[in-house]
Amino acid sequence: MHRLALALFVAFLLPFTLVLSAPSQSTSSLLALGPTDENTVPATFIGSYGDHEYALNGTVEQVLAQLKELHPEVELKKREVTSRAVLNKEMPPLCIPIRGWNWATAYMPDIQAGVVYLDNLNTRINIGPTSCSRISCSWNGAIYLCNDNPYSIQPASPYLASYAQDLINICTTGSDDHYPDYKRTGGQEFDTDGYNIIVREDSC
């Protein structure tokens, strides 16, 4: 009798056990930050420009403008944007529309320009704990870095540029046939080290 009762009890619990053990959506995609008015702060770009060390706040476009004004004699070497090793990337990325966020896509060529700037500057970007920074923005096309960690991080700008390039490669819509400037892109890609890159339309 006791064995029969135990068997019935186990049979009753089994469906609930299966539900609890079923795979769930990635923790990063559920908990990761997105930029808001409350958590968005300026990023600090830290590196060297020619022989000059610098630590400047702003987007990559603003930082480059400051560096050119401070050191007009320096010629920034152009680097070819190439795909990089996956390393800690969580693939595939999320493409806009993304549940929970009212983001719009941006013009792809404007995001591509930001990718080139971030790659060519070849610097470190410091961002504080549990915050987001707009690291590139031009013509209403923005690239954000969001740090989900309770401590600051300093990822390399070329590696972050490769995330935005992934989003261009995977999330772009439109056709090259007649209106290449009308191709749009946007999305979010995560890193297992607790940060993510967002490409979207923004005011700038």
Please state the length of the chain.
Answer: 204
Helix (H, G, I), strand (E, B) or coil at 191: strand
Helix (H, G, I), strand (E, B) or coil at 143: strand
Question: How confident is the prediction along the chain (204 residues), in pLDDT tens digits per residue?
Answer: 444 444 444 444 434 333 333 333 343 444 466 877 677 899 999 999 988 999 999 999 999 999 999 999 888 777 665 555 556 787 789 999 999 999 999 999 999 999 999 999 989 999 999 999 999 999 999 999 999 999 999 999 999 999 999 999 999 998 766 665 689 999 999 999 999 999 999 999
Nearest to 146 by CA among 183, 108, 103, 106: 103
